[in-house]
């Protein structure tokens, strides 16, 4: 039963030696059960001294302890420590990725709701005046017929129709799912960016060649990647690195799948001001003069329409945006055959 838990559970004896651990603890400590059995906890590579000290102190004073953000081989964990009747110590370690993913999912739901509200607002505030503009242009076109001004009036009508269509589709992406090569899609987005940058930008690729084709809307995925790398360029980046990996154990993925393709976009640009980070994917939020604040919100919605997620983290110099997409494999391919890279 313990092996079915996502929580890492360890039993430490009165000599600080590992006596039992479940499967999640193997990931947490970065070592197998057989190798770890009987080994002093502090001798496991990557186990911090404060965790070993907390285990000893808990055994001595019989007071439960809670360590926050304990960095172990598997990532960041919150650790609960308590003494059992035989002076053994029980450790329960909770992977903070789950909490972070829960917060990201909640944020994505808020963003989707705000985009829908904005779409309705745009429909009321913009589409109605557009109808008046189109009607006037139509009357001008009928009156002027083939004259030059009549041609311009018809141009106005076409552009009004195009804007009206964009507003209707805003917040409601229409996707056509097919077999897609995420690396080819990424390369196409890079070509567009390099054409705009005119040699002022260096782009590097670190692609995992084992990543299979996925099911998705190629145009929508291309738009997400293009948005991310254009944002990096507009933030003053001189170098952008795009990295692809397979990632396992994600709780926000669609039912029956906890595996994702992850695309990281790292840049050395100005970064995102700290006060904007929590709101970064919300509509109308932008830290760039002249920015609309819609690009990242739309990219997040496109990711959500694929069952995925966009996230952000600051780097020492620059930013990292990560796109995670559930692996919906073509034909009989299996994600189990692909490593983390």
User: DSSP code of 45?
Assistant: T
Pairing mode, strands 65-72 and 178-180: unpaired
Homologous superfamily in CATH for domain 2-98: PAS domain (3.30.450.20)
* CATH class name, domain 178-337: alpha beta
Each domain of the chain, given as residue ranges in start order, spans: 2-98, 103-169, 178-337
Which is more confident, 92 or 327? 92
**pLDDT of 197 above 70:** yes
Q: What's the mean per-residue pLDDT of the chain?
A: 79
pLDDT digits (tens, 9 = 90+) for 79-91: 999 998 878 999 9
Nearest residue to 268 via CA among 229, 294, 309, 310: 229
Question: Looking at per-residue confidence, does 337 or 145 come out higher?
Answer: 145
CA geometry: angle 340, 46, 249, nearest 5 deg: 30
What pLDDT, in 10s, does the model give residues 247-301? 776 555 555 556 789 999 999 988 777 777 666 666 555 555 554 456 777 788 7
Q: What is the pLDDT of residue 76?
A: 82
pTM above 0.75, yes or no: no
Give the bridge partners for 77, in sequence order: 70, 95
* Whole-number Å distance between alpha carbons of 103 and 97: 10
What is the model's pLDDT at position 91? 92
Mean pLDDT of 229-254: 80
Q: Quick one: pLDDT at residue 330?
A: 43
């Amino acid at each position: 039963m313990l092996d079915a838990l996502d929580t890492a559970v360890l039993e430490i004896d009165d000599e600080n030696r590992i006596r039992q651990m479940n499967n999640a603890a193997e990931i947490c400590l970065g070592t197998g059960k057989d190798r770890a059995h009987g080994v002093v906890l502090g001798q496991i590579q990557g186990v911090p001294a404060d965790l070993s000290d907390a285990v000893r102190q808990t055994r001595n004073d019989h007071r439960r302890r809670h360590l926050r953000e304990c960095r172990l081989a598997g990532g960041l964990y919150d650790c609960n420590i308590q003494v059992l009747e035989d002076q053994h110590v029980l450790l329960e370690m909770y992977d903070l990725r789950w909490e972070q993913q829960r917060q990201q999912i909640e944020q994505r739901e808020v963003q989707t709701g705000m985009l829908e509200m904005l779409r309705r607002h745009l429909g009321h505030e913009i589409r109605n005046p557009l109808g008046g503009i189109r009607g006037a242009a139509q009357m001008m076109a009928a009156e002027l017929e083939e004259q030059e001004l009549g041609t311009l009036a018809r141009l106005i009508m076409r552009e009004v129709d195009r804007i009206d269509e964009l507003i209707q589709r805003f917040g409601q992406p229409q996707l056509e799912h097919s077999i897609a090569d995420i690396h080819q899609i990424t390369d196409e987005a890079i070509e567009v960016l390099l054409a705009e940058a005119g040699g002022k930008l260096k782009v590097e690729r670190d692609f995992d060649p084992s990543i299979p084709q996925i099911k998705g809307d190629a145009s929508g995925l291309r738009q997400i990647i293009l948005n991310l790398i254009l944002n990096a360029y507009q933030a003053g980046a001189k170098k952008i690195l795009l990295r692809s990996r397979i990632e396992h154990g994600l709780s926000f993925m669609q039912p029956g799948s906890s595996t994702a393709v992850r695309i990281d976009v790292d840049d050395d640009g100005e970064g995102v001001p700290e006060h904007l980070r929590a709101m970064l994917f919300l509509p109308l939020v932008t830290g760039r003069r002249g920015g609309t604040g819609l690009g990242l919100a739309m990219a997040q919605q496109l990711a959500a329409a694929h069952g995925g997620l966009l996230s952000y983290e600051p780097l020492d110099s620059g930013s990292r945006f990560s796109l995670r997409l559930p692996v919906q494999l073509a034909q009989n391919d299996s994600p189990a055959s692909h490593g983390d890279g």
